[in-house]
Amino acid sequence: MSTITAPSENTTGEQAPARSGAPSLWRSLALRAGAVVALVAIWQAVAMARVWPPVFVPEPAAVWEQFLRTTGEGVSGYTLQEHLLVSLRRILLGCLYGVTGGVVLGLLIGMVPTLRALLGPLVTFVRTLPPLAYLSLLVIWFGIDEEPKIWLLLLAALPPVAVATADAVRGVHEDYLNAARSLGARGHELPLRVVLPSALPEIVTGVRVAVGVAYTTVVAAETVNGVPGIGGMVRDAQRYNQTDVVVLGILVIGLSGLLIDFLLQTLDRRLVPWRGRT
Partner 1 sequence: MPSPETEPALALAGVSHSYRSRGGTVAALGPLDLEIAAGEFVTVVGPSGCGKSTLLRLVAGFAAPSSGSITASGTPVTGPDPARGYVFQQHRLFPWLTVAGNVGFGLRGLPKAERKARVTELLELTGLGDVGRARPYELSGGMQQRAAIARALAPGPALLLMDEPFAALDAFTRERMQEEVRELWRRAGTTVVFITHSVDEAVYLGTRVLALSGRPGRVVFDRASGLPYEEQPRGGQSFAALREELTEVVRLAASAA
Question: Distance (Å, rounded) from C-alpha 148 to C-alpha 229?
Answer: 14
By the rule CB under 8 A, 15 interacts with partner 1: yes
| Spatial distance between the Cα atoms of 56 and 112, rounded to a whole number of angstroms | 54
Query: Closer CB to partner 1, residue 198 or residue 217?
Result: 198
Give the binding-site size for partner 1 (rule: CB under 8 A).
Answer: 33
List of long-range contacts for 34-38, beta carbons under 8 Å, 24+ apart? none
Answer for which of 38, 179, 192, 263 binds partner 1 (CB under 8 A) is 179
The least CB distance from residue 190 to partner 1, in Å, is 11
For position 13 contacting partner 1 by CB under 8 A, the verdict is yes
Q: Is 9 in the site for partner 1 (CB under 8 A)?
A: yes
Q: Is 78 helix (H, G, I), strand (E, B) or coil?
A: strand
* Extended strands (E) in 111-244: none
Identify which of residues 127 and 181 has a Cβ nearer to partner 1 in the complex.
181
Three-state secondary-structure class, residue 104? helix
Distance of alpha carbon 195 from alpha carbon 251, whole angstroms: 40
End-to-end CA distance of the chain: 19
Residue 180 is a binding residue for partner 1 (CB under 8 A): yes
Distance of closest approach, residue 1 Cβ to partner 1, in angstroms: 10
HSE-up (13 A, CA, CB side) for residue 156 = 33
Q: Which is nearer to partner 1, 15 or 128 (CB)?
A: 15
Nearest approach in angstroms of CB 165 to partner 1 is: 15
Q: Point out which residues pair with 28 in neighbouring strands.
A: none
What is the Cα–Cα distance from 166 to 42, expressed in whole angstroms?
43
Which residues is 75 bridged to in the sheet?
Answer: 78
Virtual CA dihedral for 227, 231, 233, 234, nearest 10 degrees?
Answer: -150
Span interacting with partner 1, options 101-109, 158-166, 173-181, 210-218, rule CB under 8 A: 173-181
The β-bridge partners of 78 are 75
Of 198 and 243, nearer to partner 1 (C-beta) is 198
- Which listed range, 86-94, 194-202, 213-221, 231-239, lies at the site for partner 1 (CB under 8 A)? 194-202
Q: Does 237 participate in binding partner 1 (rule CB under 8 A)?
A: no
Under rule CB under 8 A, residue 188 binds partner 1: no
| Residue 21 interacting with partner 1 (CB under 8 A) | no
Vertex 32: Cα angle to 31 and 38 (nearest 5): 90
Of 126, 185, 190, 209, which lies in the binding site for partner 1, with binding defined by CB under 8 A? 185
- State which amino acid sits at residue 94: G
Q: From residue 130 to residue 169, what is the string marking binding to partner 1 with x (rule CB under 8 A)?
A: ----------------------------------------
What is the per-residue binding string for partner 1 in 198-217, x denoting contact by CB under 8 A? x-x-----------------
Q: Compute the distance between CA of residue 99 and CA of residue 39 in angstroms, rounded to an integer.
A: 33
Query: Can you give the binding site for partner 1, defined by CB under 8 A?
Result: 2, 4-5, 7, 9-10, 12-17, 19, 173-176, 178-185, 194, 197-198, 200, 273-274, 277-278
